[in-house]
Structure 1
């Protein structure tokens, strides 16, 4: 991927925030999530908005589409100059009279959504309709832009969009439901939907969070290509919200830094990264994860072991009335040993079987259509041979942090109930005061306080929800922790704190981690050994530093090169 042009000059404003604020509550209880923001995105420009969780990035992005949460109060103006016109007027689109999106009737805003301003949301599983296929949802978006074209042409356009976003077998995936795709594939489908209407502005809220590093670069390259193609129609601008500073360096022409709702710094990307003026920006730029692992003891016992572990699912292709379609194998004879105090990092492209491996060792595939062969040994016991009651008793020693914190946290439970739920099951003898004390202690360790106890998941940012999920897992002090993308929703500064916390807990309690991640910088900082998966097979396995410096397989070399670790 090419770097950003240092001589870039912003074009005419397309979207402009003027003294924009968003707050909750009233009177003395009024709290500003975004305060007096002045920021503009030019025609055809790429701007990145970065900052810590809860800094107001997503609220700033939602405001132009009037998607702010119920109870939010907005002030100031958001001026939009990108109204689509007829072909005869298209050459003068940049000169369109700006309108204040905050004062427009909702009917006018609905006409702008998708057609003029499109958005890729952070959590695709909650944004996609589970009752409709991916193809039907993209076709619906295509029909909004071209209502007179035939159904066959809509289908062809949707499949072409899936192909452009890098989904394998797009014709087949067209008929898949969201739950049948990996996290990365769902995110790419969301991007395809957003691009279907050829918007003037694409707001991308963490669009590559669920993608591995090579696909992140492919998606951003695709957005650049589509931006180039859009110049004939006036040029598409992109507002990128991300915690991945490496992507910001390569993608954005300008970067704006938010902290607690305040704009701290804005400027050309290279200038801000090389010579940050604000102290907060300096801390953000220097927030790469630090490797500070304790060595694994030579005689450390093996806590988790897999031998010839394979997982397959029934095939979905029809082969006739009386013939069964071949099974789809997700994992193929995977084996490893995880010792006390050790971290094994698992990497690979989306759909390579990483999350399936985690679910298999957790024993969470037993009630599905999955066929599992091989053995998983947990704390000296074959996991598959345990009775449900015996397995439940062992779950306090084997915990998990899921990839999607919003989907894994019950919306009907407050944070006190969510974090203490494991205590209620495994330590019922604790009094209410003791439970609350333990919950408060673990919340403080992950950077939260007492004010969170009676609030609900929807009241927190994505990063804050992930910290709550981490607290829920850690409160039982497990011996083994499966980390499925534990920092994917966190910005880099909070990520560094959480990884430092996990490292300290590992040193203190000799915890064993099976860490699944797309972020190779996180894998490098946290893992003693790395397992590389491709299409369900282990293609390389070894000491982290040795493997990163001297990868043997071309697939591994490509992964590390994309992450700029080699």
Structure 2
């Protein structure tokens, strides 16, 4: 039986000739107790489709068609688009709940997790006593698998990990025992093992809801591996149009639409050139360790020992080689990257061990000497939008490094180098005067790559370079990075929790756990024959074994 049904749903912005349809005549149904996934690239209309039943569409959006909701009392359906907003508020949370993509922004930083869950509990049960609502909130935290729920009840959002915050968001959403749960990219920022845990948790909670009639779930995502693991049915959106829908097995095994086929076949391809036998070592670390002083004290006069984030990490990175670094959140991946780049020096971090860059001791270099070497060691960050200044156009962004390291270039030479580099990354001269917000995510990451390569570095640190991108764009960016590596014989240190990316890009893999290297070796050998239980679990979670 249908729980929610979209009939001829359209969402547009603007008017007349400038009217643009973000969702175009969509027909889709979610049954009682069913798990449906809505997939597609950024801008396909997924999130707008998810927000429409709760009437949370952006200001200026024009919505037409019908969204039919099956009433709880069994008296038939009601069109949510025709209801007054006061009636919609009664449905929000109580009958239709939503888990948002980024829990840190969705949770109130001024209130504890417990208080925020209690608020949701009291909406569903307004007459419940305070002690009973506390017990109910702690029980929800237990159900969602948060360790030490009684203690975490008193924690603020910033005191929880990404996975714990997402579990707290799910606890809030389920406090009202909704009949439909809409999960908008609920696992994007999580490690592979945590992603599967969250989806397995949703399955368990859905199973428990059968006593109350069964909860339907609408999952919005661009992670196709998760869809295979979780959804019973799949609907594919492209630029607001429904390309095809059907059972998960049918859509993945026999996609009928060319766009769906492109999505299904968008896994990164391994196209690595072998490392030359006598290739020089460009980056070397020996027993590199990083610790942070503790703010706690063991007594009136003695502070608690420092918290060690990285513990005696050693590796050699050769010219033309890529080393992939994997591990769960908190394993020390990003700290390793920042230590190698020398970006921990101004913090309270205690760094020990050796870092050699192009044969020079990075730690002992004077600031002037280190600045001169920065052109040889560059970084590409995870978020291409956050790492580009919104106040600078593309010309200014890419040329900024030239201004520092090659100040004697004439304006014509400077512009010529920038245009040449834009061509290298697949963009043209017309991009020079435009600003970051005028580009797609993939184009912004190409600009970030151009900014790094304009200085002709020998070493690139790539910190989650494609995690913010759609799968097809991700494949394009990785192909570009592989091509540039072959052309300029670059050395890459790539940090990622996406094991498909690591497999496609890396000659060798370093597995970090709690700051220690637990396994290190040739990528294909390690994936096929992992020795450590931790490594096996990581690969199993990513379905690579």
Task: Report the TM-score range of the alignment, normalised by the length of the smaller protein.
Answer: 0.7 to 0.9
Matches within 5 A, 1:277-292: 277-292=256-271
Shift of 1:382: 2.7
Q: Which residue of 1 aligns with 2:464?
A: 485
Q: Quote the Cα distance in structure 1 between the aligned partners of 2:444 and 2:129.
A: 43
Q: Which residue of 2 aligns with 1:17?
A: 6
Q: Which residue of 2 aligns with 1:300?
A: 279
What is the SS of the residue equivalent to 2:375? coil
Q: Which residue of 1 aligns with 2:352?
A: 373
- 2:412 is equivalent to residue 445 of structure 1: no
What is the SS of the residue equivalent to 2:363? helix
- 2:99 is equivalent to residue 120 of structure 1: yes
Could you give the per-residue CA deviations for residues 310-350 of structure 1, whole angstroms, max 9, x where no partner exists?
A: 22223355645444233322211111111121111111122
What is the SS of the residue equivalent to 2:25? strand
Q: Quote the Cα distance in structure 1 between the aligned partners of 2:135 and 2:395.
A: 49
Q: Quote the Cα distance in structure 2 between the aligned partners of 1:386 and 1:184.
A: 39
Q: Quote the Cα distance in structure 2 between the aligned partners of 1:134 and 1:475.
A: 46
Change (3 A) 1:21 1:479: farther
Q: Does the aligned pair in 1 maintain the 2:7–2:65 contact within 8 Å?
A: yes
**Where do 5+ consecutive residues of structure 1 fail to align?**
1-11
Q: Which residue of 2 aligns with 1:6?
A: none
Shift of 1:213: 2.1
Q: Quote the Cα distance in structure 2 between the aligned partners of 1:412 and 1:148.
A: 52
Q: Which residue of 2 aligns with 1:4?
A: none
The structure number with the bigger radius of gyration is 2
What is the SS of the residue equivalent to 2:276? coil
**Where do 5+ consecutive residues of structure 2 fail to align?**
none
Q: Which residue of 1 aligns with 2:57?
A: 68
Q: Does the aligned pair in 2 maintain the 1:442–1:474 contact within 8 Å?
A: no
Q: Which residue of 1 aligns with 2:493?
A: 514
Matches within 5 A, 1:118-267: 118-146=97-125, 149=128, 157-170=136-149, 173-174=152-153, 177-179=156-158, 181-267=160-246
Q: Quote the Cα distance in structure 2 between the aligned partners of 1:224 and 1:160.
A: 18
What is the SS of the residue equivalent to 2:271? coil
Q: Does the aligned pair in 2 maintain the 1:187–1:210 contact within 8 Å?
A: no
Shift of 1:174: 5.0
Shift of 1:542: 0.4
1:309 to 277, 288, 306: 288
Q: Which residue of 2 aligns with 1:38?
A: 27
- 2:374 is equivalent to residue 395 of structure 1: yes
Q: Does the aligned pair in 2 maintain the 1:539–1:553 contact within 8 Å?
A: yes
Change (3 A) 1:413 1:125: farther
Q: Which residue of 2 aligns with 1:99?
A: 79
Q: Quote the Cα distance in structure 2 between the aligned partners of 1:59 and 1:435.
A: 40
Q: Quote the Cα distance in structure 1 between the aligned partners of 2:97 and 2:368.
A: 49
Shift of 1:544: 0.6
Q: Which moved more, 1:270-279 or 1:182-191?
A: 182-191
Residues paired across the two proteins, number: 544
- 2:331 is equivalent to residue 352 of structure 1: yes
Q: Which residue of 1 aligns with 2:484?
A: 505
What is the SS of the residue equivalent to 1:98? strand
Q: Does the aligned pair in 1 maintain the 2:425–2:449 contact within 8 Å?
A: no
Change (3 A) 1:126 1:473: farther
Q: Quote the Cα distance in structure 1 between the aligned partners of 2:276 and 2:52.
A: 53
Q: Which residue of 2 aligns with 1:5?
A: none
What is the SS of the residue equivalent to 1:215? helix
TM-score w.r.t. the length of structure 2 is 0.88
Shift of 1:444: 8.3
